Amino acid sequence: MANNIALFFDTGKNKMEFSEVLTEVQKFLARKYASLITNNPEEQRRQITAYIAKYIADNRYGVEGLDNDTLVERLYSEMAEFSFLTKYLFAPDVEELNINSWKDVKITY
């Protein structure tokens, strides 16, 4: 979805830090689309990523080093999943995640 938007609009003009874009998108979705949380994870993901992509395109937000699709996926992961931990939580070869602090995370395979 985000890739199609980039074809027609000049996206990414307003370069910001990822954390700033995340804050803006969180505020927007909380204000406008809080009812999107459903019992159907696939539908929820589809709808939320579509709204994120539209909001980013409408405001021409961009993050240095991230294309629109990657930015949408990272924002969704931060907001609705477990951030960078998601890929480890569901990996079949990960035996244990040991989180002692924000800067002390150990992964046992």
The residue type at 68: N
Looking at the structure of the chain, the number of domains it has is 1
Q: How far apart are CA 44 and CA 49, in angstroms?
A: 8
Residue 87 amino acid letter: K
Share of the chain above pLDDT 90, in %: 71
**pLDDT single digits (tens) 1-48:** 555 655 555 556 789 999 999 999 999 999 888 777 777 888 889 999
Domain that holds residue 32: 2-82
Domain membership flag for residue 18:
yes
Average pLDDT estimate for 76-105 = 94
Residue given tokens 């961009």 in the structure block: 62
Q: With respect to residue 101, please indicate whether it lies within any of the assigned structural domains.
A: no
In a domain, 20, yes or no: yes
Q: Give the model's pLDDT for residue 23.
A: 96
CB atoms within 10 A of CB 19: 10
Tokens of 83: 């951030």
